[in-house]
Structure 1
Amino acid sequence: MECSSSSSSSTTSQKHEVFINFRSEDTRKTFTSHLNGALERVDIKTYVDNNNLERGEEIPITLVRAIEEAKLSVIVFSKNYADSKWCLDELLKILECGRTKRHIIVPVFYDIDPSDVRNQRGSYAEAFVNHERNFDEKKVLEWRNGLVEAANYAGWDCYNKVTRTEYEIVEDFTKDVLEKLNRTNVSDLDRQITKMEQLAELQRQFYESISTFENMLNRDATIQRVTELKMERSIRMLRLTPDMLSYMENSNDNNKSVFENMF
């Protein structure tokens, strides 16, 4: 009974943004692999665990850290998801991060009715019959409550795929994840930009009432800071890597040298 997290990044030393919690035997070669590929195409790194957990093991510290370091977790609920204690334990950690950190949680209901997850019916009811025989009552109750909490998050219902293909669903889901991450990545800058723009407006009004050189310089400095913050915002939205930024700086230095040598 294994549960895996999936990604282009195999260790937490490589920065990842998304942790994918899923039942390996259900979706590794279908939805999760398609989702992983789609996320890679838009430069979103996800976490993959290539080491299957053996029966009786607790979640390794590397997986706990991977969940904590991610900005967003995708929980792929499938028919056999609840069979795995490790999927359920990862789920509890994800929910903990959602409550204590600014951690985004997005459930996906793949080949399973959301109400079956929320109410533990069907294959989920069968899974909990086994869990109640093998685990203590407190742990089972935590898992049950965790499923209810996670199923109540705004998510994606891929159970009734009548008019849409899996490819279309994955592409739309990827866009949604990208938008959520982008909003998170620039939210601090948006707050700063708003405050600085408000300050610039106050400084403009002050300069119009008291037209001194110093007041003009103060306003100009604020406007310059707004410009810098907006540039940083654009860089984050474009998801430029440090290598790309280094190349841009080197290119600017080279162009400057060529210009200076002309005179």
Structure 2
Amino acid sequence: MTPPSIKYDVFLSFRGEDTRNNFTSHLHKALIDKQIETFFDHNINKGDEITPALRKAIEESRISVVIFSEHYASSTWCLDELVHILECMKHYTQKVIPVFHNIDPSVIRNRTGVIADAFKKHEYRYKDSVDQVQRWKDALKEAANLAGFFSSFSKCESEIIQQIVEYILKILNDRSPSDNSNLVGTESKIK
């Protein structure tokens, strides 16, 4: 597959009801403050179809940050995004960074607790689409096995966000040409 042209440094995948107005919005602001071009779902133009616009934004991103939360797996939108993100990781060498927000990675990986409950509903609702449900399960396990960040109620949110931003800056700067002094538009993202 031919990689698409890159428009975004980062794509944020998250369950809106869990994290939109707290962790994710704070992470988004921290990324923007460091001039990291970030796709947040409010970037979709009014009137655009959501699914094609999201798929395109995922493909046009260097890095996807997947913010797993309590209800992430209850959303088939989130699960479809995750499957596409992992496809882009395999085909376009996109970097995927999982963030486990107030949920243990083992709950995601092993599909226990609230994740198991969500999949019982998916299996009932999509009993004629067993393959699709299996893709979601496989994607959750694969993403939960990637090295990532753990944010819990007992940890300082701003410190975790700072660590994530610094990690993203390192990835972006490692991908830059080593001698870019004569190139236009490739100045370092580190301020």
TM range (shorter): 0.7 to 0.9
SS of the residue corresponding to residue 236 of structure 1 reads: coil
Return the alpha-carbon distance in structure 1 between the equivalents of residues 104 and 184 of structure 2. 40
How many pairs were matched up?
Answer: 179
Instruction: Judge conservation of contact 2:180–2:187 (CA < 8 Å) in 1.
Output: no
Indicate whether 1:139 and 2:89 are aligned.
Answer: no
SS of the residue corresponding to residue 44 of structure 1 reads: coil
TM-score, length basis structure 2: 0.86
Return the alpha-carbon distance in structure 2 between the equivalents of residues 233 and 177 of structure 1. 22
Alpha-carbon offset, residue 102 of structure 1 = 2.0
- 1:166 maps to what in 2? 157
Closer, same or farther: CA 35–131 of 1 in aligned 2, 3 Å: same
Indicate whether 1:238 and 2:167 are aligned.
Answer: no
- 1:33 maps to what in 2? 25
More helix by share: 1
Instruction: Judge conservation of contact 1:182–1:237 (CA < 8 Å) in 2.
Output: no
**Can you give the 5+ residue segments of structure 1 that lack an aligned partner in the other structure?**
1-13, 52-57, 191-228, 241-263
TM-score, length basis structure 1: 0.64
Instruction: Judge conservation of contact 2:8–2:61 (CA < 8 Å) in 1.
Output: yes
- 2:113 maps to what in 1? 122
Instruction: Judge conservation of contact 2:151–2:160 (CA < 8 Å) in 1.
Output: yes
Alpha-carbon offset, residue 148 of structure 1 = 0.6
Return the alpha-carbon distance in structure 2 between the equivalents of residues 109 and 233 of structure 1. 38
SS of the residue corresponding to residue 169 of structure 2 reads: helix
Alpha-carbon offset, residue 167 of structure 1 = 1.0
Percentage of matched positions with identical amino acids: 41
Indicate whether 1:89 and 2:80 are aligned.
Answer: yes
- Which one of the candidate residues 90, 96, 105 is aligned to 1:105? 96
Alpha-carbon offset, residue 234 of structure 1 = 10
Indicate whether 1:43 and 2:35 are aligned.
Answer: yes
Alpha-carbon offset, residue 236 of structure 1 = 2.5
Alpha-carbon offset, residue 238 of structure 1 = 2.4
The amino acid of 1:17's aligned partner reads: D
Calculate the aligned-residue CA RMSD, in Å: 2.3
SS of the residue corresponding to residue 162 of structure 2 reads: helix
- 1:69 maps to what in 2? 60
Instruction: Judge conservation of contact 1:59–1:89 (CA < 8 Å) in 2.
Output: no
CA radius of gyration, larger in: 1
Return the alpha-carbon distance in structure 2 between the equivalents of residues 176 and 234 of structure 1. 24
Indicate whether 1:155 and 2:148 are aligned.
Answer: yes
Return the alpha-carbon distance in structure 2 between the equivalents of residues 239 and 155 of structure 1. 22
Alpha-carbon offset, residue 65 of structure 1 = 0.7
SS of the residue corresponding to residue 141 of structure 1 reads: helix
The amino acid of 1:98's aligned partner reads: M
Return the alpha-carbon distance in structure 2 between the equivalents of residues 71 and 153 of structure 1. 17
The amino acid of 1:46's aligned partner reads: T
The amino acid of 2:75's aligned partner reads: S
